[in-house]
Amino acid sequence: MVYHKAFRFRLYPTAAQITLIHKKFGCSRFVFNYFLTQWHTSYKGTGTGLSYYKCAASIPALKQDFNWLKEVDSIALQSAVRQLAEAFDRFFRKQNEAPRFKSRKNPVQSYTTRYTNDNIAIRDAELKLPKLGWVRFAKSRELAGRILSATVRRSATGKYFVSVVCEVDIAPLPKLNTAVGIDFGLKKFAVSSRGEQTDNPRHLRKQEKRLARWQRMLARRKPGGANWQRAKRKVAAIHEKIANSRHDFLHQLTTRWIRDNQTICLEDLQVSDMLQSGNLAKAISEASWSMCRVMLMYKAKWYDRTISVVAKDYPSSQLCSICNHRNPEVKRLSLREWDCPVCGTRHDRDQNASANIEREGLRLAGMTA
């Protein structure tokens, strides 16, 4: 099957290329904000907004009023308009809040360009981008498939990255007869019905003291000064390290689950509701269960695996995985082990929950344990 897959690399542009990249950031941001203003004006006057095609058709006239827009890639300007239209579509479907104006003060900036007439290409360790020419990049792996688009991004630490989206034909993995139930937790990140226990790496906690120290230094320094800028970059670098470590951990774990199992059964955790807990909100947010589930979903789609999601109200921890007796006392999180009063089996809370999740997940998928 053919899917869209992104390949992310770090860029090493020259000083002249950096200047042009910043111009593209600014022009894309200007076009986005300009048409967002036009959209609000149209909505207040007529009760309807603007379509993507109406905005895109206005770009040539806009270039006549602002000549500096001609210096950058025209496709990048069209992509900014498309991003605005897609943001409004998601807003009307109640998937996110209304689009907001972009600020030049945000250290994270990006622009997107699309492939046409070989304007994006790769040779050795260089990437060809519109208006930029050949840019040196860290080629950590080979690209596969047909190139569709490229997004250039500057991170909060001042590094430049490119995400190249390709149309890739991904072959499904060989079918297996194995299934696994996964119970997510805080002490253990995940416990599987096969007895595997994955420790919670707690990436944020490992960097918390360093992060707090540099945040205090940032707060004490005068905003805008050289020392303030240095502290700000240091705080951003620590956050970047935490995010990279978390992504690496989750990618390795989810890929292993996908390769080893045909069916993966998960609990439908309502993380947004669980974050309302003042005592556990930080630990729940750090665990990134939702990100793990997203990775499992798209990898399962790529490799022809099945993800079965158990309802959030299913009492996986309270049921005995042997005789199915329900013990309401297990609601207490402090109770880590318990004995079934009917069959006498002694259960580890998380191990028992994962076994129940597997059984219920297979039932919902129309399979047998």
Measured CA to CA, the distance from residue 277 to residue 284 in angstroms comes to 9
Q: Where are the alpha helices (DSSP H) in the chain?
A: 15-46, 52-57, 59-65, 74-92, 203-220, 226-260, 271-274, 281-287, 289-303, 349-364
Between CA 266 and CA 272, with CA 267 as vertex, the angle to 5 degrees is: 125
For residue 19, how far is the Cα from the chain centroid? 29
What's the Cα-to-Cα distance from 34 to each of 24, 26, 27, 112, rounded to whole Å? 15, 12, 10, 17
Return the residue matching tokens 């992504």: 247
Token pair recorded at residue 69? 């827009």
Question: Which of 118, 124, 183, 286 is the catalytic position?
Answer: 183
- What is the C-alpha to C-alpha distance for residues 190 and 293, in angstroms, rounded to an integer? 12
Give the active site residue among 267, 273, 286, 348. 267
CA-CA distance, 2 to 18, in Å (whole number)?
A: 34
Based on the residue annotation, tell me whether 169 is a catalytic residue of this protein: no
Q: Is 350 a catalytic residue?
A: yes
Short-list 214, 270, 267, CA closest to 242: 214
Q: Catalytic: which of 73, 350, 358, 360?
A: 350
Q: Buried (b) or exposed (e) across 154-175, using 16+ Cβ within 10 A?
A: bbbbeebbbebbbebebeeeee
The CA-based angle 35-36-39, given to 5 degrees, is 85
Strands 146-154, 160-169: pairing is antiparallel
Return phi, psi of residue 326, to 5°: -100, 125
Which token pair is 264?
A: 């993966």
Q: Helices (H), strands (E): how many in the chain?
A: 10, 14
Rounded CA-CA distance 23/28 in Å is 8
Backbone angles phi, psi at 218, to 5 degrees: -65, -40
Q: Which residue has the tokens 């605005």?
A: 84
Q: Which candidate, 47, 176, 25, places its Cα nearest to that of 112? A: 25
Contact 236, 215 (CB under 8 A): no
The residues assigned a catalytic role are 183, 267, 350
